[in-house]
Amino acid sequence: MTTLIYTILTLSVIGVVAAIVLYVVAQKFKVEEDPRIDETEKMLPGANCGGCGFPGCRGLATALVESDDISALYCSVGGDECMGKIADYLGKAAPKKEPQVATVRCGGTCEKRPRTNSYDGATSCAIASSLYVGETGCAYGCLGYGDCVAACAFDAIHINPETGLAEVDADKCTACGACVAACPKGIIELRKRWPKNRAIYVSCVSKDKGAVTMKACKAGCIGCRKCEKVCEFGAITIENNLAFIDSTKCRLCRKCVGECPTGAIKMIGLAPLVKKDEVKEEK
């Protein structure tokens, strides 16, 4: 009987002491927080991808609640709809952004870009690119070790084993920008997302002179300026031997695609434009 009483007593004392300690600690380290942060966080997609520039959704939620002007804050995963809801809840002006999609700008497939050596280091684009030019003669192209794949929280980018290049699954891509930051070669760009994932872009980032590019890769941009001349919207600029199509100016007219001698301008979800000479014949 005494054992029982002692046990109950000891446990009770421990319980009380622990409760007091917990209470004191809880009071001492109490953090006052705006309850709206929790609500806002719930409205965000909860992917914690870091695409907004904050460590996670809670970081963005805190910023959204605390800053008066939220026009610079945006969750590309949730998009306009999500941001609109949050803005309504917080009573602030909703930030708007055109939907975007990540685009891999390299067309140097195994076939077009012959391998000159075998890389035998750790499977990481960052490590390989800090060591040397890569397995091919092109210093700008996709290395294919999948740093972007590892960075993607949405399973939207993969290395195609046949081409050795990264490919974006546009339906899954949320334009969070994680792959853009992960790619040491700066190949991936966030471009305007057209309906049905249509796109026209220069699938090359090589700044080498035309002859050098041509030697390393059959699908590279050689900076010949043919596309620039044909573009009616001023969307194409050539800098450092490299064409660039500004996706905010491009109207998907497809004229440049046929002009490119190396096929570096890629077209997705669009039928090829009827060729010029055929048009002439009709006339």
- Residue 270 contacts another protein per CB under 8 A: no
Residues 180-209: x/- map of binding to another protein (CB under 8 A)? Answer: ----------------------------x-
Cα 220 from Cα 103, distance rounded (Å):
16
Kindly tell me the sign of the dihedral angle through the C-alpha atoms of 188, 193, 196, 198: negative
Of these, 2, 3, 27, 118, which contacts another protein (CB under 8 A)? 118
Identified binder of another protein from the candidate list 78, 95, 107, 134, rule CB under 8 A: 134
Does 119 bind another protein (CB under 8 A)? Our answer is yes
- Examine residue 139 and tell whether it contacts another protein (CB under 8 A): yes
Residue 282, token pair as written in the block: 């009709």
Using CA atoms, how far apart are residues 244 and 202, in angstroms rounded to an integer? 6
- Number of amino acids touching another protein (CB under 8 A): 20
Phi and psi, residue 265, nearest 5°: -90, 115
Instruction: For another protein, give the closer residue by CB, 89 or 119.
Output: 119
Q: Is 144 helix (H, G, I), strand (E, B) or coil?
A: coil
The residues, ordered by sequence, that sit 6+ positions from 19 with a Cβ below 8 Å of its Cβ are none
Residue 12 interacts with another protein (CB under 8 A)?
no
N-to-C CA span, the chain: 112
Which position among 122, 268, 274, 279 is part of the footprint of another protein (CB under 8 A)?
A: 122
Given candidates 15, 53, 55, 121, which one binds another protein under the rule CB under 8 A?
Answer: 121
SS3 35: helix
**Residue given tokens 């999500």 in the structure block:** 82
Residue carrying the six token digits 């009709």: 282
Amino acid making up residue 120? D
Nearest to 148 by CA among 198, 98, 186: 186
Using alpha carbons, select from 245, 226, 224, 247 the residue that is nearest to residue 236. 245
Which one of 7-15, 130-138, 171-179, 271-279 is the stretch in contact with another protein (CB under 8 A)? 130-138
Are residues 61 and 73 in contact, defined by beta-carbon separation less than 8 angstroms? no
Q: Which is nearer to another protein, 64 or 143 (CB)?
A: 143
From 13-21, 24-32, 65-73, 126-134, span contacting another protein (CB under 8 A)? 126-134
* Residue 37 is a binding residue for another protein (CB under 8 A): no
Q: Token digits for 83?
A: 């941001």
Query: At 83, which helix (H) or strand (E)?
Result: helix 79-90
Nearest-approach distance from CB 156 to another protein, in angstroms: 20
Which of 218, 255 has the CB closer to another protein? Answer: 218
In the complex, the smallest distance separating the C-beta of residue 117 from another protein, rounded to whole angstroms, is: 4
Would you say 49 or 245 has its CB closer to another protein?
A: 49
| 130 versus 160: smaller Cβ distance to another protein | 130
Complex with another protein: residue 23 or 132, whichever CB lies closer: 132
Which residues contact another protein (rule: CB under 8 A)? 116-122, 124, 126-127, 130-135, 137, 139, 208, 212
